[in-house]
Amino acid sequence: MTQVAAWNNLDTQAVAISRALAMDAVQKVGNGHPGTAMALAPVAYTLFQRIMKHDPAKPNWLGRDRFVLSAGHSSLTLYIQLYLSGYGLELEDLKSFRTAKSLTPGHPEFGHTTGVEITTGPLGSGISSAVGMAMAARFEKGLLDPKSETKLFDHNIWAIASDGDLQEGMSAEASSIAGTQQLGNLKVIYDDNRISIEGDTHVSFTEDVSARYEAYGWKVIEVAAKSDGDVDRDALEKALLAAEAETKVPTLIRLKTVIAWPAPKLRNTAKSHGSALGAEEIAATKVELGLDPNESFIAPADVIAHARKVLERGAAASAEWEIAFASWEKANPEKAQLLHRLVKRELPANWESAIPVFEAGKDIATRAASGKVINAIAKVLPEFWGGSADLAESNNTTIEGGRSFLPSSSAMKDADPYGRIIHFGIREHAMGAILNGIALHGLTRPFGGTFLVFSDYMRGSVRLAALMDIPSIFVWTHDSIGLGEDGPTHQPVEHVASLRLIPNFNLIRPADANEVAIAWREVIRRGKPAGFALSRQNLPVVDRSKCGSVEGVAKGAYVICASDGKPDVILIATGSEVSIAIKAAELLAAENIKAQVVSAPSLSWYAEQDSSYKESVLPASVRARVSVEAGVGSGWREFVGDAGEIISLEHFGASASAGELFKEYGFTPENIVAAAKRSIANTK
């Protein structure tokens, strides 16, 4: 950022009106979180005005620092600075805080409000995704400037985290990774106000946070409050500058604050955390701030004009960056071409030709097929990278020759600060949030793997990926009782149905290796949040000369085996059960019963198709239908109708071989045949 003048009275007034605006916005709507926004006003103002590298007129400037408000409940902390800095929010937007269709919803929403880098609110998620952003910045540096010949691609990730953020387990997982990765571009300000909804946090949170973060390998800077309880702004700025200068390890600034400062009665109380302060307390607080107690939404023109000088500084910084970028671009034409493609979110011409085709008649687990496709994609997309939660060999998520993403100081084998293999450790929840942070950073395509049953640990992050509509890719293997002897603790039963319930999330359960290949192609092409449910056990590769084209995968469901003429019954299956349904169709044919087999790897993709296509797959005139899926049957009644039969698993599995379990629980051709006959009878 261009040099900022010394702090003056207009800056002090800007902080005062920031506090007043936080009170007024909550009071007007009648609900919200004023206390933290009041306490953090000098912190956020100092960051946006004096520390962070950003240009409000170019909110997507590649060279900008990123800001993450992990304490998303205090959204006014961010909105007020976006207003003061000239990001496009105006006073009317603050007046419409938390109301329908406003640009200032209760929690910051990515893609909704200019200047909001990430959706936050679920505590722990923001700081964890900030770790992902910091990792992405380093990986992108390796793509564009591996010899560090320029500072163009060096920037910081700033985050504000609350007591609640640091209590959530996922933040501990992510912070541990950040220390291992020595993410010197990550700077977290911990708002240590010792207040939550239930009061003093010491009822549940008494550890030495500074010592914990030092143990993680972070630099910790402690900043005490002033004697009156206000933020010691001068000490804070020195700490921020020290954090900015630290490039070898992540930094935690432990900042002591008093929530709702300087409210005379409600400062340092739980009530100020999540409730309006009331007219009387707001008036008294404005007196403390030197403001007119009878005026609401105070915004003096001279103060606003002063704050918006950050537009000039930002424009100067981005213009200087653009000049240096033009020189880099000229000197590095190939890397510049790559960067332009990544910024436009385009894919290389004919990249799909790298995706393998698997030979019919072979048996291959879909997790193994996925591993081969991952490596094929990696050869043509340098922006494609990822790993797993300590299950790479099982999930088949290793990029061959990709080297381990680890700092240059690491003594581990194959360590490379720009490596393509991420070792998340046994930290599924943090992995999900980190993937989201990488995806949000903008240029690369991340994936992460674990067993499907452990998707429960990361569901919050999966939901946020869907909510933000970002291209995070989740690779879940061991997708059913077919994993066998590990038993019910590891056998997902309800997970496929549960993940399908998340709006805007695409779950794909491929039937064979070639379905895996097309599914991966579609996931990359679409650039939407998606998850794979893949088998541990080997599955036959379907002979496409006898069955429908695998291209049908792109439409979510398709006729994989057509009947000779109008079918008597339709068998709908996913994943490993498709091959069983095909065998059942053969048995039915031997009894002169015509069965059409439908493979339905992605019900969400199928839902996108027009009615004529859906009719071709599931003709309304054929009411006899059977769904087959080795999990709970929730959701399938919509497809099989009132005459249909659902072959499902409505209880937990057991520790036994896959073959034994499939037979025991009715996932056999013979049981499908019996169900088909019952369904046909139901239509008469």
pLDDT in tens, 611-662: 999 999 999 999 999 999 999 999 999 999 999 999 999 999 999 999 999 9
333 found inside a domain: no
Q: Quote the CA–CA distance of 507 and 275 in Å, as a whole number.
A: 39
- pLDDT average, residue stretch 379-402: 98
Residue 472 falls inside a structural domain: yes
Check whether 2 has a pLDDT greater than 70: no
**Quick check: helix, strand or coil at residue 109?**
coil
Ramachandran angles phi, psi of 351, nearest 5°: -60, -30
Total number of domains constituting the chain: 3
Cα 568 to chain centroid distance, Å, stands at: 44
Half-sphere exposure of 356 (CA within 13 A, CB side): 17
Give the tens place of pLDDT for each residue, 197-241: 999 999 999 999 999 999 999 999 999 999 999 999 999 999 999
User: Cα separation of 177 and 151, whole Å?
Assistant: 25
Categorize the per-residue pLDDT at 4 as very low, low, confident or very high, splitting at 50, 70 and 90: confident
Q: Do residues 293 and 439 both lie within one domain?
A: no
pLDDT band for position 597 (50/70/90)?
very high
537 vs 478: CA distance, rounded Å = 8
Q: Is the pLDDT of residue 1 over 80?
A: no
Helix 428-441 and helix 169-181: axis angle, to 10°? 60
One domain, residues 608 and 459: no
Q: Tell me the longest C-alpha to C-alpha distance in the chain.
A: 90
296 and 402 inside one domain: no
87 and 160, same domain (yes or no): yes
Judge whether 330 lies within some domain: no
- Shared-domain flag, residues 358 and 376: yes
Strand, coil or helix: 541: coil
Q: Rounded mean pLDDT of the chain?
A: 97
- Please write the tens of the pLDDT for every residue from 408-435: 999 999 999 999 999 999 999 999 999 9
Please indicate, yes or no, whether residues 519 and 632 belong to a single structural domain of this protein. Answer: no
Cα gap 494→475, rounded to integer Å: 17
Task: Say how far apart CA 495 and CA 501 lie, in whole Å.
Answer: 10
Say yes or no: 370 and 254 in one domain: no
One DSSP character per residue, 58-101 reads: -TT-TTPPEEEES-GGGHHHHHHHHHHHTSS--HHHHHTTTSTT
- Whole-angstrom Cα distance, residue 227 to residue 75? 27
Q: What is the pLDDT of residue 678?
A: 98
Residue 344 in domain: no
* Overall average pLDDT of the 52-56 stretch: 98
Give me the CATH number covering residue 274. 3.40.50.970
Q: Do 464 and 430 share a structural domain? A: yes
| Domain membership flag for residue 329 | no
322 found inside a domain: no
Q: Where are the alpha helices (DSSP H) in 308-456?
A: 310-331, 333-343, 366-380, 392-395, 428-441
The residue-averaged pLDDT of 178-184 equals 98
Residue 677 in this model has a pLDDT that exceeds 80: yes
The 10s digit of each residue's pLDDT in 82-116 is 999 999 999 999 999 999 999 999 999 999 999 99
Which of 492, 514, 540 marks a domain boundary? 540
Provide the domain limits for residue 412.
351-540
Mean pLDDT of 507-525: 98
Whether the pLDDT of residue 548 is over 80: the answer is: yes
Q: Is residue 676 part of a domain?
A: yes
Provide the token pair at 664. Answer: 């025991």
pLDDT reading at 601 higher than 80: yes
Could you write out the three-class secondary structure of 148-184?
CCCCCCCCCEEEEEEHHHHHCHHHHHHHHHHHHHCCC
Shared-domain flag, residues 134 and 217: yes
Indicate whether 175 and 87 sit together in one domain. Answer: yes
User: 522 catalytic, yes or no?
Assistant: no
Which residue in this structure is represented by tokens 């290793």? 398
The verdict on residue 339 lying in a domain is no
Which of 540, 566, 596 marks a domain boundary?
540
Catalytic residue among 428, 515, 577, 645: 428
pLDDT (0 to 100) of residue 533 = 98
Same domain, 440 and 496: yes
Q: Are residues 250 and 284 in the same domain?
A: yes
3-state secondary structure of 573: strand
Structural domain ending residue among the three candidates 260, 290, 315: 315
CATH of the domain at 579: 3.40.50.920
